Amino acid sequence: MCRMVGYLGGPEASLSSVVLEGEHSLLVQSYAPREMMSGVVNADGFGVGWYVAGDDEPAVYRSNGSLWSDRSFAGIAPKIGARTIFAAVRSATPGLPVEESGVPPFSSGPFMFMHNGAIEDFRRRAMRPLRDSLSDEAYSGLLGVTDSETIFACLLDFLRGAPADLAGATGETIRHVTEVCERLGIKAALNLAVTDGEAMAFTRYSTEGPGNSLYCLEDAGAFPGAFVVASERLDADPAWREVPDRHLLWVRRESGATLAPL
């Protein structure tokens, strides 16, 4: 289980304003989350990715330590600004290693990806069939053994056919992973997030039962002129809206947000 946040401006925002500041920031969620369906804290790593002007590929800072103990990130975060930011804190699924290869956001080329959730009994039952479905290119990019990185590899295969269609590729990934899990008789919680720096797609989805929490905020409060999506509301602003269960949220810089059922 993880907690995650995505920021799409409008204005540039500092990494600290998105990740560290606010009454219920991602920093607070790393040690005192309110809405996690499993786990107690998110101390098994954190990552932050952002896009530098003039560079299509994101910069990513990842650590297998806790966010609250990383003084280096706390020192640089107020000094770095970006119009697109992805960040997550990790609570490793039991049975999966605590190492940097499993920490979101994952990146490949222009894309960044995060996953809040888990595939049941992943390494024993779902890992082989999901990885067998990958192209050679996607498979060769795998570094670790997590379900999240495997899902991202599946998404990259769908994006190769239509790299500008983040929403379509994300929906296809949900369908593909769901089909594999249903065939195996296992559950999967699949809150996914992907960005190319100009748009973001988020899902709130589970194969059984309600999906993990997900909220969005548009042009309000601490983030004027921007769209923010987060596992938990970052503050008490009443403008936060809950993303409906089994829906995909598609956010584009020029045209705003669209919701579609999954």
Catalytic residue of the set 2, 154, 181, 216: 2
Strand pairing of 46-50 and 59-63? antiparallel
pTM of the model: 0.96
pLDDT at 243 over 80: yes
- Answer whether 67's CB lies under 8 Å from 90's CB: no
**pLDDT digit string (tens) for 106-164?**
999 999 999 999 999 999 999 999 999 999 999 999 999 999 999 999 999 999 988 77
Q: Is 154 tagged catalytic?
A: no
The stretch 44-68 carries a mean pLDDT of: 96
Q: Mean pLDDT across the chain, nearest whole number?
A: 95
In percent, the amount of the chain with pLDDT more than 70 equals 100
pLDDT value of residue 101: 87
For domain 2-261, which architecture applies?
Answer: 4-Layer Sandwich (3.60)
Q: Give the residue ranges of DSSP H helices in the chain.
A: 15-19, 26-31, 71-76, 127-132, 136-140, 147-161, 166-184
